[in-house]
A and B are shown apart, each in its own frame.
Chain A
């Protein structure tokens, strides 16, 4: 009995349950539907839930447990000879020696975990009828085990089927007894639905916990190599040199300050582009532009936010960086071809719609009464905007600004492609710098060492990043909330 079929039958039973519950409700109402507590459909749903849900949960649970149990049974049931035959064909001589010594007594236990894995792959392939993929030398030896495997799978399938059916029918009978005109079917069904909603909203929390835990776990290991203070306050970042045996512990190799300053620098450049462009665009769109212009320009600007960051990366490195460099050289400035400026400018362009859309919203949220008040006193539009609307919308704009910054700080692909890896401690936008995200991507996708501080440092950086955005967000949220209270 395959799981799919079981699930299908369960769903069918559930549907039948719905129908049964419904007609039962109609029956007990004696034709006066209004005398029922709930509409008949709810009695149906109630029955359907009890018929289907527990059994489906069981199936889910079963799916997780079934494979390990069956594998254990199959391996333990194998005869020593067949294990030995397999080992002779598949294992290296050194391993074989060890195995054959033990095999007489406890066949499968003699195998190490990895060898079991291999043996199981073969058995599974055979059980699935794909003998062609198995070494012909062991096919015969494994045949009984494969048969056993298939048999167990069959038994498991049938037993889960039987248990499910019992649960489902039990649910049906139980709920049938419960159905009475006074029975609050709707409330019961709604309770289940609302619990489902709660479970969904907990996923957000689980995600956060997952992120924090997976970052924390590795970070703690990292801090066993490198002290926290050194990581947070060190002025020198060069993770690569530190892996060489003779340089481990050379002070400052994991000082993340240059990364922080680099991130700050690039974000600052980005904001210097995005803030004026975004804010002014928002003001123009919200206060000046005719409706038609607004409804075309706004989506066009939003395209900027939708363009994949890889594309921006190309744009930065192949189009903007050379322009910046040529301009700089013409002005007699020494511009690195990986300048923070180029990456920042492009990132700024990407962020424009975040600022413009959010600001547009907050500007629109400024109550019309304030505009009226200002116009009524004889102010021009720009005076009203600058002196009344912007101050009133300021908290909201600050909120937008903070969200945009956290976006800039977290942006990866643009900087990976355009900003480079040089961890320079500088605030010169014409120089090359690197950012936290670049380092994470580089450390994890590049040449990794086992268990090295170098690889683990990526997680520590991720943790820092997480907390920085957390703080920015909490601040932004506070600011926006304060703003909200004022006008609601």
Chain B
């Protein structure tokens, strides 16, 4: 095998694909082969072993989990370099025809969780309309299209919005850890929150047809469809390159690729590829990945990542 093989997250996929394409166009190495398997699926393939049959790089829209790291170790994939490539904001957006809306995480939790706190009690979510959640919100039915649990975007949403949103309610705070987690993280299933499949673009297209519906998807899709959609303001911040990069916008997450060190020097072009990926031309603020919707890292962070790539410092076991 002479081509690099890359698997992993569907969120990272378009960015990796862009690098792959550029790499194929501008170097004499054969273009790497890229396959979108989802973060977890990618980890599974990546950690299955060392050798020509196993991928060299996997993309992830979240950090590697401890269990995955262990699996890697068990299968002889002992040295893995963790490389952050940038940030991805998660947009909560709706049709341009809809009203302006300004939400807090607590309100989002109230609107989307299966069980919520009402008057100090934990009850099944009674809210049918936004105005039920907070009278200041529009009097429109709650209808949110979001990613299925199999997607990294969903994980991030739960972690960044739901988990923090619920913290503001004392009755929730006082729950036992396990119960609290369940209450905080479980999305409602009565039709107000709709799991709309892995295909973010389809969510975008459906929002166009239904002005009351909101969608949860990667920021890049919002960016590309600004003529039809607008992003809701979360905690007073509208999603944009700037607010995400600066960390102001509260729902954003880092994106990673993982490199199998053992393959460097065996699979041609591997190191060159990763170097290109985190190079200024790609991952820089003005790089072509930014054109694709990736929120670039601040310069000093990028420099650190470039350093890691240069030395191929293997990662340590993650905490969780």
Contact = CB atoms under 8 A, between A and B. Distances in A.
A152 B296 CA distance: 52
A114 B262 contact: yes
A318 B206 contact: yes
Contacts of A431: 191
Looking at A91, A135, A442, the one whose CB has the most chain B CB atoms below 10 A away is A442
Interface string A241-263: 10010110000000000000000
Interface string B199-216: 100100110011001000
B76 A449 contact: no
Contacts of A94: 78
A336 interface: yes
B231 to A, nearest CB: 20
A422 interface: yes
Contacts of B205: 317-318
A445 B191 contact: no
A121 to B, nearest CB: 5
A interface, by DSSP: helix, strand, loop or mixed?
Answer: helix
Contact of B76 (A112, A240, A247, A334): A112
A118 B41 contact: no
Given A337-B210, A417-B202, A421-B148, A246 B38 contact: no
Contacts of A130: 2
Contacts of A246: 177-178, 181-182
Nearest to B209: A322
Contacts of A318: 202, 205-206, 209
A117 B150 contact: no
A111 to B, nearest CB: 11
Interface in B146-194: 148-152, 155, 177-178, 181-182, 185-186, 189, 191, 194
A450 B194 contact: no
Interface stretch (B46-54, B115-123, B273-281): B46-54
Contact of A420 (B49, B79, B195): B195
A89 interface: yes
Interface string A230-247: 000000001111001011
A76 interface: no
Contact of B49 (A90, A91, A114): A114
Contacts of A432: 191, 194-195
Interface stretch (B84-92, B105-113, B263-271): B263-271
Nearest to A119: B266
B interface, by DSSP: helix, strand, loop or mixed?
Answer: loop
Contact of A113 (B76, B150, B177): B76
A322 B209 CA distance: 7
B82 interface: no
A148 interface: no
A238 B194 CA distance: 14
B297 interface: no
A424 B189 contact: yes
A118 B194 contact: no
Looking at B145, B191, B267, B268, the one whose CB has the most chain A CB atoms below 10 A away is B191
A82 interface: no
Contact of B266 (A118, A244, A445): A118
Size category, B interface? 35 or more
Interface in B189-244: 189, 191, 194-199, 202, 205-206, 209-210, 213
Contact of A446 (B47, B191, B198): B198
A130 B1 CA distance: 12
B41 A445 contact: yes
B210 A325 contact: yes
Contacts of A114: 49-51, 75-77, 262
Interface in A87-114: 89-92, 94-95, 112-114
A89 B77 CA distance: 17
B71 interface: yes
B73 to A, nearest CB: 11
Interface string A62-75: 00000000000000
Looking at B152, B155, B198, the one whose CB has the most chain A CB atoms below 10 A away is B198
B40 interface: yes
Given A336-B191, A421-B148, A447-B41, A118 B51 contact: yes
B78 A450 contact: no
Given A336-B194, A445-B198, 6 more contacts: A95-B78, A121-B266, A240-B149, A317-B206, A432-B195, A446-B151
9 contacts: A114-B50, A114-B75, A117-B49, A121-B266, A130-B2, A417-B202, A443-B150, A447-B40, A448-B41
Interface of B: 1-2, 37-41, 43-44, 47, 49-52, 67-68, 71, 75-79, 143, 145, 148-152, 155, 177-178, 181-182, 185-186, 189, 191, 194-199, 202, 205-206, 209-210, 213, 261-263, 265-268, 314
Interface of A: 89-92, 94-95, 112-115, 117-118, 121-122, 130, 132-135, 238-241, 244, 246-247, 317-318, 321-322, 325, 334, 336-338, 416-417, 420-424, 431-432, 442-450
